Structure 1
Amino acid sequence: MTNYINLDDVEVIAPNFKKRLSGVTSTIIQLVPRQRKLGLNIAVCGAGLPAELPHVRIRDFWKLWFTTKSGDHRIWHARRNIEMLPAIIMRDLLRMKLKIVFTSASQRQHKKYTKWLISKMDSVIATSHKTAKYLEVPNTVIMHGIDLERFSPAKNKQDTKRQLGLDPTKKIAGCFGRIRKQKGTDIFVDTMIEILPQHENWIAIIAGRTTAEHIDFEKSLKSKIDNANLADRILFVGEHTNIENWYQALDLFIAPQRWEGFGLTPLEAGACGVPTIAADVGAFSEIIIENKTGAMTPINDPERMIELTKFYIEDEALLSKHGKHVRHHMETEFSLQKEATAINNTYQETSDSFKG
């Protein structure tokens, strides 16, 4: 049963107007409970969100014509165009008591329509400094955080591998996320085909969902793996709700994307004590410390990816050292608590500037 709460008690609304699970949806699901623990009365609205989160009903939006019990305007935190537009209509045409905050993760020139929407925001958050460069309005950079309790190093990596049906004696390189060319899954496969024959103690795992339009792409990868006689060492394990356990089983993570908005996978791997080799897309260069928590490659550069992967898997001491460094880096710089606190502060600053 959905946990509906009274809009009278709500200070912030976090809408989710996209049914299909996405990175934005995942962000809302993780952040809202943390924000509430910090004392913020925040609720969600829309589809595709867990029933246990506090929800508000659209039919109660007439209450937005009135301020909160403390006399403040409510905050509407949009993360997509389809969430900005209705907020602008409610605030500017219907004169409802709203202030609008928008979070942008995009790293490309915005279309005129999107620029117009963003120009109407009361506050704008960028998820990285790269993203901030594409915004033409004042903004605050707040990078995504990671749940350090859910994503944490395995207590015993061999036991974790065994529980997942994997050979506990093998080292594992992983590539997680949707299986498609944009995500560079083919670069990972080509890298493993080149490296694994010379390193018998390593296997590779590909975890993630393949949507209908990318089935042929996945089939081509599996055919290439079969032709290399590596079907028993490059494994497609599908999509899992316990993905943290799969990260815990890894020894090295590879993020070979050709494009990415932000990219949470290096955070998830790092929180589990696994260093990452990543292409220079999204916020990866702002997450990874070169030669300390992982390494960066140019976009779409298979040769450099192979070179760096060999470097890591042939130096187990380095893998272990960087694994410890990356967990500490996540704890100090990328906790979900830090992100939630910074966003709550932005809400407060938005309200205070309005009062001023």
Structure 2
Amino acid sequence: MSTSTFDSYRPPEQARPRRERRGGNRRRAGRGGAEGNNEMSMVPDVEFTSYYGRPVVKPAPWGDDVAAYLFLGGVAGGSGLLAFGGQLTGLPTLRRNARLGALAAVVVGGAALVRDLGRPERFLNMLRTFKVTSPMSVGSWILSAFGTGIGVASAAEVDRMTGERLPLGPLRPLLRAVEGPAGVEAAVFAGPLAAYTAVLLSDTATPTWNAAKDELPFVFVSSAALAAGGLAMITTPVTQTGPARVLAVIGVAGDIIGVRTMERRMDPVVAEPLRQGRPGALLAWSERLTVLGGLGAAIGGRNRLVAVLSGGALLTASALTRFAFLHAGIASAKDPRYTIEPQKRRLAARQAAGVTDDAITTAS
């Protein structure tokens, strides 16, 4: 018998049942005889998992750098939208702090993304083309467009903060002229920036991410809203945080409803990684902090101490949500059970409904 290095992956073989013999002679039943119907099966029952127990889906090679980018991208998008609200309502401190917060989130989040990519030119390489069917390509352009708009608007804020001491020379009037349109441009791309990372995750074969494809963008946008509101509640006096508190409360409600709806609609097996192990602990703490931060914003947001504590809780909750979803998806890809069992249930349901001619997998 030949051997191979792959033999170590084989599961142990079960002993085959021996057929009973009497008098040293094998008894054969005639056609239609009773003995033939009572023969034991020579092949043991096998519960299929995957090829040698290996993962069916290759796990995404992403770590905490990507999770940090998911969180900071949401903070940037929500803050850009909040800055536009401050621009429209005449709240200069809120507008300034939201713009600077969005810029800081874009810079730090972009650094985390480049660190995960390994080389900065890999990000620039994605800007060579625009492929509407690729969430990563579209997201790269969204991030670049948002960063440009919020960067120009933030430069104007910094120039005012320093008493117009930036060495702009004749460019200062131009900066003042484009500040407003830049804020509008950043607001236009704020929502897509907060949502595209959810599309990026769910547009994969990773079981948990793909099963949440309908609700995950809603969850991520809600999480971005409560995080941006929380950041503004920390950095801005309570006299100008009215829009931030409203945005935070809306985000809290959307996050709670979105997560509950998503889990109810998902296959129960695929939803397991969201409630087990490290991802389950992160998501549980995220939900607790979301409720506490939302109550603080709604009830005691006019108190400076309560506003700061509530804002910190909301920021932490948003970060934990992104880390939980990233690691839950990776865990679901590593275990073939989360790929195979839902597929087998869907196949059985389609066959039971009489659908047997729409695909190879449903043909019987």
TM above 0.5, yes or no, is no
- Normalised by the length of structure 2, the TM-score is 0.26
User: Which structure is higher in strand share?
Assistant: 1
Structure label with greater radius of gyration = 2
- Normalised by the length of structure 1, the TM-score is 0.27
User: Which structure is higher in helix share?
Assistant: 2
